[in-house]
Structures are given as structure tokens and as C-alpha cells.
A and B are shown apart, each in its own frame.
Chain A
Amino acid sequence: DAGVIQSPRHEVTEMGQEVTLRCKPISGHNSLFWYRQTMMRGLELLIYFNNNVPIDDSGMPEDRFSAKMPNASFSTLKIQPSEPRDSAVYFCASSSGLAGQYEQYFGPGTRLTVT
């Protein structure tokens, strides 16, 4: 079975450019999570969806960040314009339920470098 799929795996872009990260959750999962991981701040939850509806976006750092989930099998995280401080590894995770007991399955991550 395919796990969570993220693309691209690596992204290098210049400051000011738009960046779009993509995620395909595990089929049948109805909750999707976007995380950011840095050395300084560790693993931070940015936003999560349930049944394609954003539930909590309080972790989104600022208006430059936006996330969408147009259907159950696809989500995007967009940064526009990008800044060097956005450099991090971005993870997408999915689970079969929203309650706290459901295991989250993580994708391999997208390593973003903004120069």
C-alpha cells in the first residue's frame, strides 16, 4: 500500500518566489495534517483538515502561507512570497480519524531551501 506521498522531495527557490508543496494522503484517511520541522523550533503543526475542511490553522505562521484540500486525495501548502526563514522540512500526515487516538502516518517530507 502506498503511504503518504509528498512532492517535490526537495525544493530550492529564491526569496520572493511562490512555492507549492503537494500531498496525497493515504486512501480512506479523512484527516490531513501539515507540519514544519526546523532545528530551532522542532516539529510544528501548521494546519489540519477533516473531511477536506480546515479545522485549525492557528499554526500557520502568517498570511504568506495558505493551504487547500480540494478533494480527499490531494492537498497543497503554498508560500507566497517565500522568505529564507521559511527554509525547513515540511511534512504531511494523514489519519483515519480526527480524535486524538488515531495514529498519524507521515510522508517523507519536502525539504525547502529559500535563498
Chain B
Amino acid sequence: AQSVTQPDIHITVSEGASLELRCNYSYGATPYLFWYVQSPGQGLQLLLKYFSGDTLVQGIKGFEAEFKRSQSSFNLRKPSVHWSDAAEYFCAVGAHVGGSQGNLIFGKGTKLSVKP
């Protein structure tokens, strides 16, 4: 069965510092991978997605993520965090085929706090 693990429940970084949020997935083939962001009181917004091809994908708001098949990881990075990046971040995996096609499996989320 597919699963997504985000090992860090809460991360605090200083404004201007770099950020890496971890995501590990379990899936039998090359998955579709997504990162979403949720600001307080809001719905989820897509940051970026990986389907195939270049393993380093660029997203909105200066975020990027790298797909590493050997590590079953899809970590999210940003070189310099802004206070407005404080939010909760969700990694998700989507199935290619099968009965769960269309279903996204979400991780538990990582809450990011930004210190001034």
C-alpha cells in the first residue's frame, strides 16, 4: 500500500535561513509526488509536483524539491525562508493506476515556524 512519511512534525527556522522538509514515500512504482502548503485557516495550495523527467522540480514561492528514487524521498527545499512561509506543508503521493487511481495519500504534515 502507498504511504507517505513526514518525519518532522514541527520545524523552526530563522528568517533568511535555508529550509529542507523531509518526505519519504512507499510505492511500488514511480509515483506522482506533490507538495502542498496550508496557511492557517486556509485550504491546501499546490507548491510543486513531480511526474517524470528532471528529478529537480521548481515550484511557486521559490520552493524546489528533488526526487530521489534510491532513497524513496521527495524533500522540499528553499534557500532563504521568509516570514510569510510559516505554514503547514504536506507531501502527497498519487497512484498511476489501479483501484486507488485518483486518490492522493497525504503525509501528516510538517508545521513550519519562522523566527525573526
Contact = CB atoms under 8 A, between A and B. Distances in A.
Interface of A: 4, 31, 33, 42-43, 45, 48, 50, 55-56, 91, 93, 95, 97-109
B102 A91 contact: no
B74 interface: no
Interface string B47-85: 001010000000000000000000000000000000000
Given A106-B45, A107-B43, A99 B96 contact: yes
Nearest to B46: A103
Interface string B84-100: 00000010011111011
Nearest to A99: B101
Contacts of A104: 44, 46, 104
Contacts of B90: 43
20 contacts: A42-B108, A43-B44, A48-B102, A50-B102, A91-B43, A91-B44, A95-B102, A98-B101, A100-B95, A100-B100, A100-B104, A101-B49, A101-B51, A101-B96, A103-B34, A103-B46, A103-B49, A106-B45, A107-B43, A108-B43
Interface residues of B, number: 28
A49 B101 CA distance: 12
Nearest to A41: B108
A100 B95 CA distance: 5
Question: What are the nearest 7 A-B pairs in CB distance?
Answer: A100-B94, A106-B43, A98-B102, A106-B44, A100-B95, A43-B106, A42-B108
Nearest to A104: B104
A43 to B, nearest CB: 4
Contact of B103 (A56, A101, A105, A109): A56
A2 B96 CA distance: 28
